[in-house]
Amino acid sequence: MNEPTLRELKSRSQKLKPVIHVGHDGITDALLAALDQTLTDHGLVKVRFTDHKSERKQLTAELAARTSSRQILLVGHTVTLYRTPQQSSGL
């Protein structure tokens, strides 16, 4: 991904509200299915960690790997993930 595209995605992510919340259950099959569907529909998704805050970096890497997405921005307890519209994780 080139720098102008990354900058544009970061800019767009500032206006988004978190639509996926990682709670006390952590990463579940239902959460992955919801995230996969949201990435398919929108491409750019904000995820908020309401629990497991100390593990957010590891969980972000796992979410990105399991949904074939890319981390765009991690600020505080919120991460923005992106997947191009033609990609699918196969979940």
Say how far apart CA 18 and CA 73 lie, in whole Å: 13
What does the pLDDT look like over 66-86, one tens digit per residue?
999 999 999 999 999 999 876
pTM listed for this prediction: 0.88
For residue range 34-68, what is the model confidence (pLDDT) as tens digits? Answer: 999 999 999 999 999 998 888 999 999 999 999 99
Structure tokens at 74: 């991690």
Angle between helices 56-67 and 29-42 (to 10 degrees): 60
